[in-house]
Amino acid sequence: MNTANRRVEIISILLAKRHITAKELAVEFNVTVRTIHNDIQALSFGFPIYTKQGSEGGIFIGEDYKPYMNTLTPYELKVLKEMYEQVDGIHKRILFQILHKYGPENLVM
């Protein structure tokens, strides 16, 4: 895996977990902890990533960082909300997740 791909994967992991240690990432990608620190330093220029030392420490991504926010057009949002009102069960739950993942932060259902 090259550097660019590893860094994209690091962002994906942080988005999913919100927190991980440099050692865990080093093991995951079979690189040194120093390499991970270099990756984090490079990524921190474009992403809200921060580190914290100590037993509760590690690498974090800002809780308010949601890269998919507001990626739905108003028309797409309207249609998905209409569909949400017409379905039940698993379909309703999945639509709810999509709307909250890709819709505006203050979305009212």
Mean pLDDT of the residues in the chain:
89
Overall pTM surpassing 0.75 (yes/no): no
Q: pLDDT (tens digit, 9 = 90+) per residue, 67-87? A: 766 577 888 889 999 999 999
Residue 16 banded pLDDT, cuts 50, 70, 90: confident
Q: What would the 3-class secondary structure string for 7-63 be?
A: HHHHHHHHHHHCEECHHHHHHHHCCCHHHHHHHHHHHCCCCCEEEECCCCCEEEECC
Would you say residue 35 has pLDDT above 80? Answer: yes
